Structure 1
Amino acid sequence: MGQEMLAIYDEDLKEIGKAPREEAHRKGFLHQVVHCWVATRQGEEIWLYFQQRSFEKKDFPGLYDLAVGGHIDAGEEATDALLREMREEIGVVPQKDRLRYLGIRREEIRLGTFYDREIAQVYLYDPLQPSFSPGEEVERMIGIPLPELKKKELFGQKEILGYTLDGKRITLKEEMWCRHPGEFEEMVLPVIQGLEVREL
């Protein structure tokens, strides 16, 4: 298998070349990724779903993260990358009419020699009946009721409760998460709140 090649961009988001993924992360080249939040109704509540990253992953092993996230390969369309990542990571072929594009968000993470600068194409998927079949990059999926997630994202609570897909309650501490500052509050929550007033 060849190296994963990423398109790289200048500050005006104009494509200026290509680079291997590892080089992009080492040198801080701006590149594109997809993020997909998954939300649905459970009774009277909205729930959101997250993946636990495989412990074999090089970056952030074992941490909890958005339901789906991954790089857009050079020459690949964002929607194609999203569909590919949804199949590979959570085993879902989405109903296209339940998939919403929310916009672009910039992220930057610097940890030692890891320098990740991303243009995230952000989506929301609200399936009628959530069903997941995690791939090798994902340990498991969990669900969190919206009021509980708000405690972490809006009010900085250090521990919240989540649930495995078989209903086991788990405590999720702050250090167990990948962070995407502001993405939930600014991009996802306004849409989720709109969903609360109608059936998903």
Structure 2
Amino acid sequence: MAEQLTVFDRQGNEIGVEEREKVHTEGLWHHTFQCWFVEVIAGEPYIYFQHRSKDKKDFPDKLDITAAGHIGAEESIVEAGVREIVEELGIEVSASDLQYQGCFREEIHTGTMIDREFCHIFLYPLQKLPDFQVTEEVSDIMRLSLEGFEEILQGQSKNGRYLMSGLEKTISLDDFCPHSQGYFSFIIKATRKLFAF
């Protein structure tokens, strides 16, 4: 059975349930869970990105949110989130460790879909490096300093190293899934506030 998502009007009022494909082709508003793994290393904040599998339908081989996904019609936001982290990263987390940062409304238009999301954003502050597992959805994990990521957003290129393969790569904004500058600014500000930077 096709994945069913609850859909909403622009003001956030629930208006029904639709199949995921229709949600994206017709640009219907829906809720998503998004969790960024963050960490302080030697006094500097870092942020983690998943490298999407080359077999993903949307944005294959791109760097993206550490773990994210749609919220099924019968799921709560946190239930969906804990499930997505296991499915994508092979890691079990406690819901109480996920720190809610708020909801960011975002629209992404591509040649094949109109993605209108109420993004429920969480931060997961790490105490140690998790035992990330390669899944069919995620091929690797990259850790970047928050400062380095800000420089990439300003149009610079930076060297990054994948944690699992050890591969080094020069990263530019073209290597990331599309998001608005406002969205990325929201994530950066939330991370700096969490760590008091």
With normalisation by structure 1, the TM-score equals 0.90
Q: Is the 8 A contact 2:82 2:95 kept in 1?
A: no
Deviation at 1:112, TM superposition (A): 2.3
1: distance between equivalents of 2:53 and 2:63? 9
**Is residue 2:63 matched to residue 1:73?**
no
Alignment root-mean-square deviation, CA: 1.7
**Is residue 2:13 matched to residue 1:14?**
yes
Q: CA offsets per residue over residues 9-66 of structure 1, 9 Å max, x none?
A: 0122011101100011111111111111111122222211100111111111111101
For residue 185 of structure 1, what is the aligned residue in structure 2?
185
Q: Is the 8 A contact 1:145 1:162 kept in 2?
A: no
**Is residue 2:16 matched to residue 1:39?**
no
Q: CA offsets per residue over residues 86-143 of structure 1, 9 Å max, x none?
A: 0000112124443210111111122223111111111100120121113210011011
2: distance between equivalents of 1:192 and 1:30? 26
The match for 2:163 among 153, 159, 165 is: 165
List runs of 5+ in structure 2 lacking aligned partners: none
Q: Is the 8 A contact 1:98 1:127 kept in 2?
A: no
List runs of 5+ in structure 1 lacking aligned partners: none
Change (3 A) 1:98 1:136: same
2: distance between equivalents of 1:72 and 1:86? 13
1: distance between equivalents of 2:196 and 2:81? 27
SS in 2 for 1:184: helix
With normalisation by structure 2, the TM-score equals 0.91
Residue pairs, 1:74-153, within 5 angstroms: 74-131=73-130, 132-153=132-153
